[in-house]
Chains A and B, each alone.
Chain A
Amino acid sequence: MSIPTVRQGSLQLIDAAKTRSRGALYVAEARIRTMVKWLGIIFAIAIANPVLYLISVGIGLGGLIDKSVGPAGVDGVKYLTFLAPALLAQAAIQGTMDETVFPTIEGFKWNRTFYSMNSTPLSGAQISIGVFLAALFRAFYTVLLYFGVMWAFGALESPRAWLAIPTSIFAGASFGALMQSVAAKLEDENYFFVVLGRFIMMPLFLFSGTFFPLTSMPFFLQWIGWISPLWHATELGRYLTYGHAISPTLMWVHFAVLVTMLVSGLILSARLFTKRLAK
C-alpha cells in the first residue's frame, strides 16, 4: 500500500516567495480551468447575444432609424455604428459580472473554496485579484467573439472600430471590480439577484445612452448615465471609433470615473476578502 511521501523537516520544496509574487495568477489559472468547463455555453452566449441584438435592434430598428433620419445619421453615423460600442461594453460588463459575483458568493458561501485557498500561502487579496483577472479573461473572450459577429454583420464601418474593444473591457473591469466587492460583503444572497437584475443591470443597460444619446433623456433621468460605467465607456468608445464629439474635459471625466470605480473596487474587494477570511 502506498503512502505519500511527507518529507518531515524538509522545507526546501515550497518556495513561499513564488506564491507571494504569483499567487493571484494561480487563482486565475484555477478559475479559468473552471470556466473552460462551461466554454461551450460561454461561447453560445457570446455569439447568440449579438446576433439577436444586431438582427432586431441593429438591422430592424436601425434600418427604420437610418431611413427616417436620412444621411445626417444618429450622431452623424449609421445607427449600427452608433450602437456598436455600447453593445460591446454591455457584453463585457455582463461577462465580468458573471465571473466576479457568482464565484465570490460560491467561494465564501456555497462551496467555501476561498477558505481552502486561504489555507495555503495565498492571501485574501491574492484570491480577490485572481478571481478578478479570470473575469477579465472571460470579458476579453466574449468581446472578441461579439466583435467578430458585428464584423460579419457589417456593423463596423469605421476603420478604428477595434478601439471599442479596450473601452468595453475597461467598462467591464470597472463594474466587475465594484460588483465583486459587493458580493464579498454579501452574507445573504436571497434578494440580491432579483435586485441586481431588475433594479441595477436593467436600468443601467437602458438608461446609459445605449440606444440613443443620453441627452435625449429628460434631465432627471440622465444621472443614471452619469454613474454608469456603461455610459462613460460607451462615450469613449464612440469618440475613438467614429469621432463622436466630446470636450477634452469630459473625456478626462469619463476616464477618471472608470479608473476610480476600478481602483476603489479592487481595493475594497481585497480588503473585504481579507477581513472575511480572517474571521
Chain B
Amino acid sequence: MSEYLISARGLTKKFGDFTAVNGIDFDVSKGESFGLLGPNGAGKSTVMRMIGATSQRNAGDLTILGKDPELNGPQIRAHLGVVPQQDSLDMHLSVSENLYIYGRYFGLPRKFVKGKIEELLTFAQLEEKRDAKVEALSGGMKRRLTIARALVSEPEILMLDEPTTGLDPQARHILWDRLFRLKEQGVTLVITTHFMDEAEQLCDRLIVMDKGSIMAEGSPASLIKDYSTKEVLEVRFGSDRNQEVADKLRAMCERIEELPDRVLMYTEDGEALLEKIYASGLHPKTSLVRRSSLEDVFLRLTGRTLIE
C-alpha cells in the first residue's frame, strides 16, 4: 500500500464527446482534509464519484486505499463514507431507520448498528428527531443526517460533495462545526465546494478546478500568497463609470479585475492605495479594504468568479 490513501494520475472521465475530467493528478494523505474548489460544472462531482468507486474512469490511474476501484469497487466502498450532493435519504423511513438500514448495507451486525445510532444521533443533534420521518426534517437536519449516515461504518475516508449548498447561514455554521470536530479528530476528509469560505475553513490543502482541469494546488494560505496580493481594495464608481476609470486605476497597483458592479484592486496595502486614488482626484462612491481570499485566486486563474 502506498503512503497515500488516494492517488490519481492522468485521471480522465468522458461522457460521450464531453470531457468532464481531463487528465488530473493529485494525492490525498491520511488525516488530511483535502478540498476540490471550483464552480458548478468544473468536474468536482465526477471526480468524487470516481473516488467513491462507483463511476469508472476512461483513462489514467486511480488507487484508493491501495486498490484499483475498477477491480475492487465493493472492497473500497466498504471503507468510504459518502455524502452525496443530493441527500438521497429514504424518505419513507424514520431518522433512526435510515441509519440502521445503511449500516446493514455494510454487513454490520444489528447490535453494533443499534449502538452506533445513539452515538450518531447525538453527533448530528437529532436525538429528538429519531422517530421523525425524514420528509419532515429541515434542509440542515437532512444534511446532518446524511453525514451521520456516512459515518455509520466508521469509514477511513469521509467524502462530502457540496456539504452546505442550499443551507441557510446558521445551518452552515452548525455543519461546519460538526465537520471541524471530525477533522480535529484526524478523520481524512475529501470535500468539494464552490464556496471559498468553506474551503478556507475546512481544507488543509486543495486543488482549484475549472473545466475538468486543475488550475492550482496548495493550502488556502499558500494559494492566496502565490496567486494574489495581501489585500484587496474594492471600489465602486457606479456601473457606468467603472469602465472609464479602469485604466487610471490599473496604473496605480499590481493588478485590477473589473467586475460588472465594482473594480477589485490588488495591493499589499489597501488603505495607502485608497489615499492614492483620492489624491489623484478620483472619488469612488464606496470603497472596501479586505484581505485576499480564494475567490481572488480563482478570479486570477480563470478570469471568472466562482458563483456566476
Contacts and interface: CB of A to CB of B under 8 A. Distances in A.
Nearest to A9: B156
14 contacts: A2-B119, A2-B122, A10-B154, A13-B153, A14-B108, A16-B75, A26-B104, A29-B101, A33-B97, A37-B92, A116-B102, A116-B149, A118-B77, A121-B78
Given A2-B123, A112-B88, 19 more contacts: A3-B182, A4-B116, A4-B148, A4-B151, A5-B119, A6-B151, A6-B187, A11-B156, A14-B107, A17-B107, A18-B107, A23-B107, A26-B107, A29-B104, A33-B101, A111-B91, A120-B105, A120-B153, A122-B74
Nearest to A106: B91
B23 interface: no
A4 B104 contact: no
Contact of B156 (A8, A37, A116, A119): A8
B155 A121 contact: no
A51 B175 CA distance: 53
B54 A16 contact: no
Interface centre among A4, A5, A7 (most CB of B within 10 A): A4
A6 B120 contact: no
B108 A277 contact: no
Interface in A1-45: 1-11, 13-20, 22-23, 26-27, 29-30, 33-34, 37
B101 A13 contact: no
B56 interface: yes
B84 interface: yes
Given A3-B123, A20-B74, A119 B52 contact: yes
Interface string B264-301: 00000000000000000000000000000000000000
Contacts of B88: 111-113, 115-116
A6 B155 contact: yes
A140 B104 CA distance: 24
B154 A120 contact: no
A contact residues, range: 35 or more
Interface in A249-278: 277-278
Interface residues of B, number: 51
Interface in B79-106: 79-80, 82, 84, 86, 88-93, 97, 101-102, 104-106
Interface in B1-43: 15, 30-31
B132 to A, nearest CB: 13
A234 interface: no
B79 A11 contact: yes
B181 interface: yes
Contacts of B181: 1, 3
A2 B188 CA distance: 18
State the 7 A-B residue pairs at the shortest beta-carbon distance, nearest first.
A18-B107, A119-B82, A120-B105, A19-B107, A121-B74, A30-B101, A112-B88
B54 A118 contact: yes
B70 to A, nearest CB: 10
A8 B120 contact: no
Interface string B154-188: 11101000000000000000000000011001111
Contacts of A18: 107
A279 interface: yes
A278 B151 contact: no
A123 interface: yes
Q: Which of B80, B82, B92, B123 has the largest number of chain A CB atoms within 10 A? A: B92
A9 to B, nearest CB: 8
A244 B262 CA distance: 86
A154 B239 CA distance: 85
A5 B123 CA distance: 10
A120 B130 CA distance: 22
A18 B156 CA distance: 19
A212 B197 CA distance: 72
Contacts of B84: 112, 115-116, 119
A117 interface: yes
A16 B31 contact: no
Nearest to B158: A6
B77 A121 contact: yes
Given A4-B116, A19-B105, A123-B74, A115 B54 contact: yes
A129 to B, nearest CB: 14
A118 B82 CA distance: 10
A14 B187 contact: no
B55 interface: yes
B73 interface: yes
Nearest to A115: B88
B107 A5 contact: no
Contacts of B73: 123
